[in-house]
Structure formats: C-alpha cells, structure tokens
Amino acid sequence: MVIEIPESAREEVIKMQQLQQQLQVLLMQKQELQVQGNEIENASKELEKVETKEVYEIIGNIMIKKDKEELKKSLEEKKEIIELRIKSLNKQIDSLTKKTQEIQDKIVQLAKERKK
C-alpha cells in the first residue's frame, strides 16, 4: 500500500531527509572518533609494557624520541578530548533523532488526516 503524501507534508519530508543526512554524518564522525579512541587505548596498553624511559612517537612520516611519561600523559589528554567530542556528538545525535521522529510523526498524522 502506497501512502500518498499530502502537499502540506512535502516540506516536512524534505526537512526529515536533511536531518537524516546530518544524522548520518554525525554517526560517521562518532565512529571515526571511537576508532581513534581504541587506537589510543591500545597504544597506552603497549606503552605500559615498555620498560625503558624513552620511547618513540610516530608523527606523520617521522619518529620522535619522547619520555615515556610525557607520551603517556599526551595519550591520556587525547583520549579525554575524544571522549568529550563523543559526548557532544551523542547529544547532537539524540537531538536530531528526536527532531526526525517528531517530523515523521507529523507526516504520518498529515497522511492520516488526508485519508479521512
């Protein structure tokens, strides 16, 4: 059964599609951040196994000698920043999901009113 969309709902459908696209972008950003967070977590675990005080960090195409504790602190800071960004993205995702659902409900209501 095909539901014919009333003219008044066409604008709402466009809004909903735009919100869904924004939501998709945010979900992709969140996934990228989660991958980065996992990489940092793995690097931190490996760093704990190292017994020397000096280690190397790869930055771009070069390796830089660093103090183990300095690198550990740097990784912790990066992880905290990523966690904050994920929290922010989660709030945005929740907000967009709620707006999308509201618009979807409105479209369904308009379609039902048209049937009557």
pLDDT digits (tens, 9 = 90+) for 15-37: 999 999 999 999 999 999 999 99
Instruction: Look at residue 12 and tell me if it is in a domain.
Output: yes
Identity (one letter) of the amino acid at 106?
Answer: K
Confidence of residue 3 (pLDDT cuts 50, 70, 90): low
Distance of CA 68 to the CA centre of its chain: 30
Domain with 40, as residue range(s), is 7-115
What is the pTM for the complete model shown? 0.81
Instruction: Look at residue 2 and tell me if it is in a domain.
Output: no
Instruction: Look at residue 1 and tell me if it is in a domain.
Output: no
CA-to-CA dists, residue 4 to 9, 47, 49, 90, 107, angstroms: 10, 60, 63, 34, 11
DSSP one-letter string for 20-54 = HHHHHHHHHHHHHHHHHHHHHHHHHHHHHH--SSE
| Number of helices followed by number of strands (H, E) in the chain | 2, 2
Instruction: Look at residue 15 and tell me if it is in a domain.
Output: yes
The domain that contains 32 carries what CATH number?
1.10.287.370
pLDDT in tens, 59-94: 889 999 999 999 999 999 999 999 999 999 999 999
- Number of structural domains (the chain) is 1
Instruction: Look at residue 24 and tell me if it is in a domain.
Output: yes
pLDDT at 1 over 60: no
